[in-house]
């Protein structure tokens, strides 16, 4: 099933407000500086950007959260920030959305991850980051697990959003799996580590094709390679499902069974302006749909439609429930 019947899609979307999703991972802030270029600097061969405006928004795993929030889902978040103005601003944004911040841990000496992008004429000129990649403390990890435990009966899915900033580790993933054991909670991972052993045994993992190739140690050059790669990753790391996002080639879903089942979903975008945050949109809508009792193919079809909308926007963007209904 590469497409979803509209009636069934609307039933799933109608369940979004009653569906809870916890997002765990690297909380960030995205800062966009917008301007135009009309000359080259006399000091160095670089463009001079005449700044018109700037905007600050949720990024990283907080952008996954924003996607679920925009879809009307009940969303919770757990992560780590620093004792700084950026972190306090992030908490303020969450509070304004009436999102519980009890799962956010503050660490002394650690900056809140900030990515600043300068965009001129719709094109990104440069990006600079303030961040720490060192592992979070044991106390922070234990606090996150306590928060996961407190939500066990209120959520239908957990998204582990890994940006390699020190929050997600094998121990944290195993701790989350232990909390969710015996429940109907779907564990969904957006990976960054090329060692997929960190995420072994989760329900569904959503790498892009480059991440999948690195993890499998093989290159996708044709359909046979793709099938072999999917079967290899499912078998080696005990995932129930693998969803590979492939840009303009769409998405490929592999599900475990007696035999690996593969379903291809063609790309839905009419025009691509910016792929920033597209992976966040995919896993956010996928997890919310699973929490709303969609099956994997239905959830993937809805995530594919949402991704087709978000890549048509510039900057870290979200898709609203109304926009998703509109493209069905």
Select from 156, 167, 242 the least CA-distant residue to 203: 242
Written as six digits, the tokens of 150 are 């407190």
d(CA 174, CA 238) in angstroms, rounded, equals 13
Helix H or strand E encompassing 326: helix 321-327
Class of residue 6 by CB neighbours under 10 A (exposed 0-12, middle 13-18, buried 19+): exposed
Q: Is 46 exposed, middle or buried (0-12, 13-18, 19+ CB in 10 A)?
A: exposed
Among 26, 162, 274, 280, the active-site one is 280
Residue 319: CB atoms within 10 Å:
23
CB burial string 279-315: b at 16+ within 10 A, e below: bbbbbbbbbbbbbbebebbbbbbbbbbbbbbbbbbeb
Contact in structure between 58 and 278 (CB atoms under 8 Å): no
In eight-state DSSP terms, residue 248 is: G
Check if 153 is active-site.
no
The CA distance from 183 to 195, in Å, is: 27
d(CA 28, CA 282): 18
**Which candidate, 219, 190, 326, places its Cα nearest to that of 268?**
326
Phi and psi at 313, nearest 5°, equal -115, 155
Phi, psi of 185 (to 5 degrees): -80, 125
Active site amino acids? 280
């Amino acid at each position: 099933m590469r497409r979803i019947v509209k009636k069934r899609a609307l039933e799933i979307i109608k369940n979004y407000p009653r569906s809870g999703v916890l997002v765990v991972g690297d909380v960030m802030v995205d800062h966009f500086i917008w301007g135009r270029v009309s000359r080259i600097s006399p000091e160095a061969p670089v463009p001079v950007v005449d700044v018109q405006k700037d905007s600050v928004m949720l990024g990283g795993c907080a952008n996954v959260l924003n996607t679920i929030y925009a879809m009307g889902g009940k969303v919770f978040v757990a992560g780590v920030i620093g004792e700084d103005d950026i972190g306090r601003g992030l908490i303020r944004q969450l509070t304004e959305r009436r999102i519980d911040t009890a799962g956010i841990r503050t660490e002394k000496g650690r900056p809140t991850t900030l990515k600043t992008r300068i965009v001129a004429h719709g094109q990104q000129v440069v990006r600079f980051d303030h961040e720490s990649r060192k592992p979070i403390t044991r106390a922070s990890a234990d606090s996150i697990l306590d928060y996961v435990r407190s939500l066990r009966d209120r959520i239908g899915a957990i998204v582990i959003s890994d940006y390699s900033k020190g929050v997600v580790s094998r121990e944290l993933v195993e701790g989350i799996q232990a909390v969710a054991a015996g429940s109907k909670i779907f564990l969904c991972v957006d990976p960054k580590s090329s060692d997929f052993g960190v995420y072994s045994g989760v329900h569904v993992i959503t790498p892009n094709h480059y991440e999948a190739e690195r993890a499998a140690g093989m290159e996708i050059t044709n359909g046979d390679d793709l099938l072999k790669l999917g079967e290899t990753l499912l078998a080696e790391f005990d995932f129930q499902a693998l969803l590979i996002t492939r840009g303009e080639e769409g998405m490929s879903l592999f599900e475990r069974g007696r035999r690996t089942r593969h379903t291809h979903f063609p790309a839905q975008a009419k025009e691509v302006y910016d792929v920033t945050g597209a992976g966040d949109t995919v896993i956010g809508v996928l997890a919310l749909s699973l929490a709303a009792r969609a099956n994997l193919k239905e959830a993937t079809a809805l995530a594919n439609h949402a991704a087709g909308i978000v890549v048509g926007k510039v900057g870290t963007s979200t898709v609203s429930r109304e926009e998703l209904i509109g493209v069905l």
